[in-house]
Structure 1
Amino acid sequence: MERPWLKRYDSGVPFTIIYPQVALPWFLKQAAERYPFRACTIYRDRVLSYAQVDTMSTHLARWLRKLELQKGERVGLALPNSAQFVIAFYAVLKAGGVVVALNPAYKERELAYQITDAGIRTVIGLRTLRGMFASLTEYTPLERWILTDDDDLNDLQAWSEPSEKNGGQVETSREIAWSELLRRGFDRLPPLPVLDPTDVAVFQYSGGTTGIPKAAIGLHRNLVANTLQFRHWLVGMQDGNEVVLAAIPLFHVYGMVIAMSVGVALGASIVLIPDARDTDQVVHHIQAYRATLFPGVPSLYQAINRHPSVLAGAVDLSSVKACISGSAPLLRETKEEFERLTGGKVMEGYGLSEAPTATHCNPMLGENRIGSIGLPLPDVDCCIVDLEDGVTPCDIGKPGELIIRGPQVMAGYHQRPEETAQALRSGWLYTGDIAYMDADGYFYLVDRKKDLIKVGGFQVWPREVEEILAAYPGVKEVAVAGVPHPQKGEIVKAWVVPESGAGLEVEDLKRWCLGHLVRYKVPEVIEFVPALPRTSVGKVLRRELVRMEIERTRKDEKAG
């Protein structure tokens, strides 16, 4: 097949990569051997070296085996961005387990679904979740939880590997303290298993905004491939000299791969921010630790652009070399202002849980095209196919469904053969995203296939309408979706977050849209709201807005 994007690669980025036949912890082992005393994690100003993180994760892995963790068994991590997350992640993999990263902010019902679906017996989580874990044992497979919190940080920093002689036993009850496992040695311990690249590494839950969440199965070789693809893409980054700001959640595959795994492959110091909404901390840590690589989402970059200290010129952000932006469209104004403030490059990219995590990105040195998700990464083939038959390739510039094949594509969905067969066809991953490609091989997202709005037989893509409304002065954020209508079937509705003191009027916004869109695309209803519901990585939950609209309509009908 033709690959016009290869001509646009930065010098030094290979068209294809020779992937080592290793499991994901190999990167940590390599970094620990090359940079044993370099900071691996920086969390709440506590520093752990690569040698410490590697040794601690091995120690915890051996205890997991002692606790009868079987190879291929799923282990939940209910932790925010922290040193404990990094240690536990590699420990589970070294023990032969499968990481199921859980959002620690989830409520019991949300945790129960994933614990049951994945068959999780052991969770490593926050001490504050103890009561919830105890409740979950009553009706899920959960049997045991290992608890930690920030009180363990001093123990981590001062930790040295205990000898087997001071071991003793750890009570194998339902609840185990992380600190106890670190303190205790061990004897007669089963050896760690030999890992194969085809072993399962992670379950990443996907599809929660459009249906029942399902676990995408990521093999070790998938994550190794994506880590190396991005390591090669980041030309100019120097092994052993970079600092990654990890503010995006590591429990999401975007943060897990781009911030943590790529960071480890670089031998970089990973500065961990547990709450990306705390912009004060984000700005402080960029300056304090001279962050050079900063993966994030557009709303985070925009929040930094508007931060009072940044506006006052009181913060030095000049250390930032590269930012990968994903999960939502990147506006020109956000990109250009952040690049002006830092002198670095903000590159919009694209990925999904089913190809953990990235498949496209704009070049680091070459041309970045506004509105484009960039070029396919090395060894990634892409095609735009007809929406009706799913096979016929579309002409250049014509929208269709984006399909992908590459070494990072998942093995399938856990226990969902029908969904797997729908997503993986003839070696291609059908993304469900509508996109088009220009003549130079740059790709552009139009919208999600499932978010298409049908108005009187015409097709309306929400993103197109959102971009027009977002350009109106005083509009801070906007989301557009189709909502049911008793006579018309479906109408276009917009939810608009105004800038403080903007004084927006509905009719003015509609007139603005009429000046830029055909009439059937203009929102019939515009509602002003204080904020938009978002996922943990900043993606607007259009389906949640529609759900709330339907519930409100039903209540009004009953009241009437």
Structure 2
Amino acid sequence: MTDSALPASPISASTDQPIWTTHYNHPCAWDQQFEPLSLPDMLFHTAGRKGTAPLLDFMGRKFSYAETAQGARRVAKGLQALGVGKGDRIGLFLPNVPHYVAAYYGAMAAGATVVNFSPLYTADELAHQVADSGTTILFTLSAAALLPTAIKVLNQSGLERLVVGSVAGALPAGKALFYRLFKGKEVAERPDDPRITSFSSLIDNDGAFSPVPIDAMHDIALFQYTGGTTGTPKGAMLSHQNLSANARQVNAIDPRKDDSDDRILGVLPFFHVFANTCVLNRTVLNGGEIVMLPRFDAVAALKAINRTKVTALPGVPTMYQALLDNPQIDKTDFASLRACISGGAPLAAEVKARFEQVTGANVVEGYGLTESSGVVSTNPYEGLNKPGTIGQPLPGTTVRLVDKEDPTKDVALGEPGEIIFAGPQVMCGYWNRPDADEEVFIGDFLRTGDVGVIDEDGYIRIVDRIKDMISVGGFKVFPSQIEAVLYQHPAVKEALVIGIPDPYRGESPKAFVALQDDETIDGPALVAWLNPQLGKHERVAAIDIREALPKTLIGKLDRKELRRAEGIAA
């Protein structure tokens, strides 16, 4: 789909115009177009405008736009010296550290495609996605939680090289010394291996890389893996234009996007598409500052808010709950905070109301997918905010509701239907999965698997979801992957995993198991065996041992019936 051809929406009262355009509550025109723009050009343009203004605040150490842009150029030249060229895949197995920003834009400047990998991945998960994507070089840190896993993958996959950075090297001098002295157990020794290059060696150059022509509309900037409806990880191919357009869409709805007073708390992980667009790319586009924390910690986040007077706080519902639960919240000054954007999972009305009461900030809920480069719709930052809805579509985005059984047919106005959408942020497709593309695309529109209704103001409310995936604190967990591990235990005959309500994380996985004859293992023992083999966000809250699991008339295990029996909406 091109920017210049916004599809018409059938969702209207009596005209051909989408219903939300009659009173669009975002402070911009809905029918906007977005010219092609590559992500490196976006960074370099803003750096030329902002110069010595800070882009990153990492634990108190500032990195200016000029420094960050030069870091990206040095990464690009270093990668080109290693033979990296157009379309090569470069992996980032990193938390929120300055290395991520330089590697992200630098790899793209060299013409490569970035592949995001969660630091929560096990070696098997990482190896699978490295192989699937064709990643040849992987950036990581000399952290005990990362480097040993990366080395295992280096030794058992087609990965050719690791580039290893040091957290201490990015910290202020005093904190760097503290880290080396007292955090030694968190640091892994880098082996003497010709396949392993230090980050400092990679960027030991003048930054004069060879410019690579980038077709922003068609060249793929990022592979972002998602499980989709089946639980099988698929690489969503996001072009430079997909990502830069979504950053511009998100920026357009901000009524107070003053780059001299734009400080956003960067605690959401950059490897997640929500933060990648709403924190990283959006802020670079606008010329603001990212107050970056390597991972979420409530005390550290509250201290950062006090110290830096951030103006925006994007997060997932569990993060807002954790901040509310921390006693330090009473000692935190939130006066600078203009907007809090909640995404990744449904936001409980009670959490929203309490956080707004305690902080005085407005919490707006939005909605997006990996396949949408991040964001599809959101409530306005100011004006009519409808709790329990995901607001109105972003500029240039058309949402339709279609029949769940026949997605080629629109539902009647006011009726629930599957949410499909089109816009410049819609992915180019799944990597090497034309079969999956056929399942999700209806022309220019993308199927979401979520069922919603649209009210008279054009606000969208999600009322159901077709997918089986479980949303754990904003991370997507796929039951089939946990079940596959359970079936490796000799005592397990049948296994089903569903999401159960969790007051902190939104949902948690819970497993239900029927045992082989004469087996007597109990639930806690099975949990103790299972959870160490899973990523932290995948670990089950409990395992319920049953004599038998529900089945359909043709003998298939019935997840829907299990949910119903447990009192959980199917």
CA offsets per residue over residues 108-130 of structure 1, 9 Å max, x none? 10100110000011001112344
Q: CA deviation at 1:210?
A: 4.5
Inter-partner Cα distance in structure 2 for 1:174 and 1:381: 47
Judge which range, 371-380 or 300-309, deviates more: 300-309
Alignment correspondent of 1:24: 39
Q: CA deviation at 1:11?
A: 6.1
Whether 2:113 is the aligned partner of 1:92: answer no
Whether 2:404 is the aligned partner of 1:384: answer no
Paired residue type of 1:151: A
Partner secondary structure for residue 463 of structure 2:
strand
Inter-partner Cα distance in structure 2 for 1:368 and 1:11: 11
Whether 2:62 is the aligned partner of 1:47: answer yes
Q: Is the 8 A contact 1:249 1:537 kept in 2?
A: no
CA offsets per residue over residues 244-289 of structure 1, 9 Å max, x none? 101111001111110100011121110111111x100011111111
Q: Is the 8 A contact 1:240 1:266 kept in 2?
A: no
Whether 2:310 is the aligned partner of 1:291: answer yes
Partner secondary structure for residue 205 of structure 1:
strand
Paired residue type of 2:355: F
Q: Is the 8 A contact 2:76 2:209 kept in 1?
A: no
Paired residue type of 2:299: D
Paired residue type of 2:292: L
Q: CA deviation at 1:176?
A: 0.5
- Residue in structure 2 matching 1:399, options 410, 416, 424: 416
Inter-partner Cα distance in structure 1 for 2:80 and 2:193: 12
Alignment correspondent of 1:455: none
Alignment correspondent of 1:448: 465
Question: Which structure 2 residues correspond to residues 145-544 of structure 1 after superposition, within 5 A?
Answer: 145-153=162-170, 173-185=194-206, 191-197=210-216, 198-207=218-227, 210-276=230-296, 278-310=297-329, 313-451=330-468, 495=500
Inter-partner Cα distance in structure 1 for 2:79 and 2:496: 54
Q: CA deviation at 1:361?
A: 0.2
- Residue in structure 1 matching 2:53, options 14, 38, 45: 38
Q: CA deviation at 1:82?
A: 1.1
Q: CA deviation at 1:322?
A: 0.8
Q: Is the 8 A contact 2:55 2:68 kept in 1?
A: yes
Distance 1:363 1:333, change over 3 A: same
Q: CA deviation at 1:12?
A: 3.4
CA offsets per residue over residues 459-492 of structure 1, 9 Å max, x none? xxx99xxxxxxxxxxxxxxx9x99x9xxxx9999
Partner secondary structure for residue 346 of structure 1:
strand
Q: Is the 8 A contact 2:377 2:394 kept in 1?
A: yes
Q: Is the 8 A contact 2:29 2:395 kept in 1?
A: yes
Q: Is the 8 A contact 1:5 1:442 kept in 2?
A: yes
Inter-partner Cα distance in structure 1 for 2:127 and 2:89: 14
Inter-partner Cα distance in structure 2 for 1:13 and 1:185: 42
Paired residue type of 1:387: K
CA offsets per residue over residues 119-173 of structure 1, 9 Å max, x none? 011001112344433332333110001001212216999xxxxxxxxxxxxx993
Q: Is the 8 A contact 1:104 1:126 kept in 2?
A: no
Q: CA deviation at 1:240?
A: 3.2
Distance 1:537 1:391, change over 3 A: farther
Inter-partner Cα distance in structure 1 for 2:293 and 2:120: 15
Q: Is the 8 A contact 1:42 1:271 kept in 2?
A: yes
Inter-partner Cα distance in structure 1 for 2:277 and 2:72: 18
Inter-partner Cα distance in structure 1 for 2:331 and 2:341: 25
Paired residue type of 1:100: V
Q: Is the 8 A contact 2:317 2:342 kept in 1?
A: yes
Inter-partner Cα distance in structure 1 for 2:107 and 2:499: 44
- Residue in structure 2 matching 1:65, options 80, 91, 97: 80
Q: Name the TM-score, length of structure 2 as normaliser.
A: 0.76
Distance 1:432 1:209, change over 3 A: closer
Identity of aligned residues (%): 33
Inter-partner Cα distance in structure 1 for 2:275 and 2:300: 18
CA offsets per residue over residues 214-237 of structure 1, 9 Å max, x none? 000000110111011011011112
Q: Is the 8 A contact 1:80 1:250 kept in 2?
A: yes
Inter-partner Cα distance in structure 2 for 1:429 and 1:156: 48
CA offsets per residue over residues 519-560 of structure 1, 9 Å max, x none? xxxxxxxxxx9xxx9xx999x86xx759x758x44899xxxx
Partner secondary structure for residue 121 of structure 1:
strand
Q: CA deviation at 1:315?
A: 1.3
Distance 1:156 1:380, change over 3 A: farther
Paired residue type of 2:414: G
Inter-partner Cα distance in structure 2 for 1:337 and 1:300: 13
Distance 1:264 1:331, change over 3 A: same
Q: Is the 8 A contact 2:27 2:254 kept in 1?
A: no
Inter-partner Cα distance in structure 2 for 1:92 and 1:241: 29
Distance 1:537 1:371, change over 3 A: farther
Inter-partner Cα distance in structure 2 for 1:375 and 1:537: 34
Q: CA deviation at 1:347?
A: 0.8
Alignment correspondent of 1:127: 142
Distance 1:258 1:153, change over 3 A: same
Paired residue type of 2:33: I
Partner secondary structure for residue 75 of structure 1:
strand
CA offsets per residue over residues 286-324 of structure 1, 9 Å max, x none? 1111011111111111221222022xx321111110111
Distance 1:402 1:11, change over 3 A: closer
Q: Is the 8 A contact 1:152 1:179 kept in 2?
A: no
Partner secondary structure for residue 430 of structure 1:
strand
Q: CA deviation at 1:362?
A: 0.3
Q: Is the 8 A contact 2:77 2:210 kept in 1?
A: yes
Q: CA deviation at 1:18?
A: 3.2
Paired residue type of 1:250: F
Partner secondary structure for residue 338 of structure 1:
helix
Inter-partner Cα distance in structure 2 for 1:490 and 1:176: 43
Inter-partner Cα distance in structure 2 for 1:259 and 1:27: 14
Whether 2:8 is the aligned partner of 1:8: answer no
Paired residue type of 1:385: V
Structural RMSD (CA): 3.4
CA offsets per residue over residues 10-60 of structure 1, 9 Å max, x none? 363112223232201222112211211111011121110000000111111
Paired residue type of 2:57: I
Alignment correspondent of 1:106: 121
Q: CA deviation at 1:185?
A: 4.6
Inter-partner Cα distance in structure 1 for 2:318 and 2:456: 30
Alignment correspondent of 1:505: none
**Structure 1: 5+ residue stretches without partners:** 158-170, 453-461, 464-478, 500-528
Inter-partner Cα distance in structure 2 for 1:432 and 1:11: 26
- Residue in structure 2 matching 1:56, options 71, 79, 104: 71
Q: Name the TM-score, length of structure 1 as normaliser.
A: 0.77
Inter-partner Cα distance in structure 1 for 2:496 and 2:78: 57
Paired residue type of 2:427: M
Q: CA deviation at 1:381?
A: 0.7
Partner secondary structure for residue 105 of structure 1:
coil
Paired residue type of 2:204: R
